[in-house]
Amino acid sequence: MDDDELFKNICEKVRCTLLSADMEKLNYVREMQARLQHQSIFTNVLGTDKYVDEMDVDWIERVRSYSTEKSISDSLDGSESAELEHIMEEEELTAAKSEATEEQAGDVWQGYFKGFQILSEAQEGAIGDKKKCIELTCSDCDDTIINYLHAGISCFAVDLFYGTVVENQALILRVRESELKLSKEIGFPISSTIFAKLSPRLQYTGLMDPPDAEVVLNKGDELTLTSMREYSTHCSKSCVYVNAAFLFNDVNVFDYICIGSDIQVAVRRKDAHLRCTVEVGGKLCSRMPVLFPSRCTKFLVSMEELEDITFCKEVGINIIVSYIGGTAEYFENLQYALKTLGCDKMRIYARIVLNEVKGCDNDMDWMAENYDGFIIELSPSDMHPEKDILHLCPAGEAFIKHAYQLQKVIVLAPTLIANKRLIVDPAHYQHIFHYPDKYILPCDQSNSAFYFFYLQDSISELLIEEALSKQPYCDRSLTGSDTLARSVACASYEMHAPVIFVCSLTGRMAAKISHFRPRALIIFITRMKSAETFISMHHNVRFLYYNGITEENYYCSLYKHLLFGLLYAESQHLIKHNDNVMFVYRETASIRLPNKYVTYKFHARHFPQHLDKILFSKFPDGFFKNLSTQDVKDTKEVDSVSSTSSDILIKRV
């Protein structure tokens, strides 16, 4: 069987109508809701809806079709389309109820908590640092996911080694529908980035049921080894899942297979599974390594990895994580697999166990240069004399530093540090507390990492100030964009700016600014919807989708982008009156990357008029006064309404 035939068979095996249909319908509903919200905001704030595209005439029927036909999630009921059509009335009612609730809370506590929000116990546990990334499981409920989104977490991970295609698809749909629900609640589009961990290339057993269970296998016991993913989370004493579909054909009867360091089984019969007998007993637990007597010589990428890649393509995941970095040959083979499956635009990350990297040379430089990002894990130092201290070899230190200098995404798993099983030596503060963009935590441990995040917050602030104070700075970019990004980060610290607004088509400038680790939230505003699949992986970056018309004057378009961002920030209480904010943008349409930034002291009442006058140096009196006669007439109407736009906005919010 050649490569093309193998990949074709995998595509046919994984691709199903359920995957494509449900995701397409859900994405259409999200797009239509974003348009309605955009229209609602500009109608109420600027007094006109001329800025919105014409919608499809059958959009109501398509939304209704989604809510009645989807087979997995049922969060949208039959009246959803009617509710979307009357979104303004609902938002006004929600605002009124919110005000009544606040008044009631103030009476109960006699005004002691005035200006604060009293949270439930479930909500309180989910609140954390914006640097968190949560690894979800199929058992997570909708309320848990919504609590994460409420807390500002916009990065999630899914491990495709566990669960079936349908279970993982249901999990991703729940995330997207939770975004839809929260978006409807706040009146602005909400998006998050989801990345997928591929099944490991090496062979492991699945999860026991329950995951922490241990069973003892004795000599003579019968054991079935299967590659069916239904058993990946339900292994037992009689049936164990192994991610070795591409090896089963090479196994012969009477071959020996090792599980862990003790267990040995002999193959007695072959069908769709391997029917074995235990020859040497031992303890069986979750995720144990499995050694087969022969290796597949045709493909370096396993069958499970290819199935996972095809699944990611179907559900719209654009970031995949290889379980190991592998060799240069393995990386090239993985790239060939992506190209053959039509996924060559996917971003490839690699999992690296940092304190297991040994040596003093730079053999891993090719990884830092070729992979798009890294998931950094730490292993216990049980074999080291000082097992409580985190030890890194020079090669590991050089690797993570090189990856940071290349502006690659770095996500660290700090579980061992959070549980105080490892203590970070001050010599490694940069590697642990400064270089990572995000910190990934399992969903069941996300509420027990306060110690780590308090530590990270205090140490990183000193490290960032030290890094930004170093002079001179060497700009390695071709266009000088790194210097602009660094200047923005420095200015945000000096001004104590809570928010940096970045308006561009791609997310390159937002990523460059995040590289210098500003404390301010970076709101990236764009009409490129696909940016949501990767941009939230970067430090402190939040994606804001602008669903406006595309064929218009650049200056008018930029004004509406940034105004949309200001309205969002004010509605979410990210900024308040007299706060300093920053705008990063292109001064002319002919430039690809943003080349200018301006600062603005936010005025809660007159910011629409102020924004018009500060953006362009060539229009000191405002852009709208330089339009044609007809445009000037329209602008006057807008100005007359925008003078009271904050009053309207305050009533709504």
What are the tens digits of pLDDT across the range 188-197? 999 999 999 9
Q: pLDDT category, 68, cuts 50, 70, 90?
A: very low
Which helix (H) or strand (E) segment holds residue 170: the answer is helix 165-186
626 assigned to some structural domain: yes
CA torsion through residues 567, 572, 574, 578, sign: positive
Residue 438: CB atoms within 10 A of its CB come to: 27
Q: Based on the fold, state whether residues 465 and 490 are members of the same structural domain.
A: no
Which helix (H) or strand (E) segment holds residue 597: the answer is strand 596-601
Domain end: 469, 493, 528, which one? 469
Residue 122 pLDDT:
40
Question: What's the pLDDT tens digit per position in 163-177?
Answer: 888 888 889 988 998
Which region among 40-54, 354-368, 551-565 has the lowest average model confidence (pLDDT)? 40-54
Higher-confidence position of 58 and 134? 134
* Containing structural domain, residue 553: 481-652
Predicted confidence (pLDDT) at residue 394 exceeds the cutoff of 80: yes
Tokens of 229: 């993913």
Q: Based on the fold, state whether residues 629 and 515 are members of the same structural domain.
A: yes
Distance CA 319, CA 194 (A): 8
Q: Based on the fold, state whether residues 369 and 438 are members of the same structural domain.
A: yes
Q: pLDDT category, 12, cuts 50, 70, 90?
A: low
Q: Based on the fold, state whether residues 456 and 542 are members of the same structural domain.
A: no
Residue 463 pLDDT:
92
Residue 48: CB atoms within 10 A of its CB come to: 14
Distance CA 578, CA 283 (A): 64
Residue 79 pLDDT:
44
Q: Based on the fold, state whether residues 399 and 371 are members of the same structural domain.
A: yes
Distance CA 458, CA 446 (A): 19
Beta bridge partners of 216: 283
Contact between 204 and 232 (Cβ < 8 Å): no
Domain end: 401, 434, 469, which one? 469
Residue 46 pLDDT:
58
Burial class for 123, CB neighbours closer than 10 Å (0-12, 13-18, 19+): middle
Which region among 366-370, 560-564, 624-628 has the lowest average model confidence (pLDDT)? 624-628
459 assigned to some structural domain: yes
Residue 9 pLDDT:
58
Average pLDDT of the chain? 79
User: What is the mean predicted confidence (pLDDT) over 138-166?
Assistant: 86
The DSSP code for 533 is G
Counts for the chain of helices (H) and strands (E), in that order: 21, 21
Q: Based on the fold, state whether residues 463 and 498 are members of the same structural domain.
A: no
Higher-confidence position of 610 and 283? 283
Q: Based on the fold, state whether residues 494 and 456 are members of the same structural domain.
A: no
553 assigned to some structural domain: yes
How many domains are there within the chain? 3
The DSSP code for 444 is G
- Residue identified by tokens 């064929």 is 551
Tokens of 18: 């359920």
Q: pLDDT category, 352, cuts 50, 70, 90?
A: very high
Question: What's the pLDDT tens digit per position in 406-426?
Answer: 999 999 999 999 888 899 999
1 assigned to some structural domain: no
Higher-confidence position of 433 and 358? 433
Distance CA 634, CA 647 (A): 21
φ/ψ of residue 645, rounded to 5: -65, -35
Which region among 573-587, 593-607, 613-627 has the lowest average model confidence (pLDDT)? 613-627
CATH value at residue 225: 2.40.33.10
Which region among 18-22, 31-35, 155-159, 565-569 has the lowest average model confidence (pLDDT)? 18-22
Q: Based on the fold, state whether residues 461 and 507 are members of the same structural domain.
A: no
Q: Based on the fold, state whether residues 359 and 447 are members of the same structural domain.
A: yes
Amino acid at 628: S
CA torsion through residues 456, 462, 465, 466, sign: negative
Q: Based on the fold, state whether residues 393 and 261 are members of the same structural domain.
A: no
Domain end: 434, 449, 469, which one? 469
Amino acid at 496: H
User: What is the mean predicted confidence (pLDDT) over 249-255?
Assistant: 87
- Residue identified by tokens 């916009």 is 154
Higher-confidence position of 353 and 67? 353
408 assigned to some structural domain: yes
Q: Based on the fold, state whether residues 413 and 524 are members of the same structural domain.
A: no
Strands (E), 6-79: none
User: What is the mean predicted confidence (pLDDT) over 336-354?
Assistant: 91
523 assigned to some structural domain: yes
441 assigned to some structural domain: yes
Question: What's the pLDDT tens digit per position in 625-652?
Answer: 665 434 444 433 433 333 333 333 333 3
Contact between 294 and 313 (Cβ < 8 Å): no
Distance CA 358, CA 5 (A): 40
CATH value at residue 598: 3.40.1380.20
Residue 54 pLDDT:
40
438 assigned to some structural domain: yes
- Residue identified by tokens 């445009």 is 631
Which region among 445-454, 486-495, 510-519 has the lowest average model confidence (pLDDT)? 445-454
Residue 374 pLDDT:
96
Contact between 204 and 49 (Cβ < 8 Å): no
Q: Based on the fold, state whether residues 504 and 457 are members of the same structural domain.
A: no
> Which segment, 31-35, 146-150, 263-267, 382-386, is predicted with the most confidence on average?
263-267
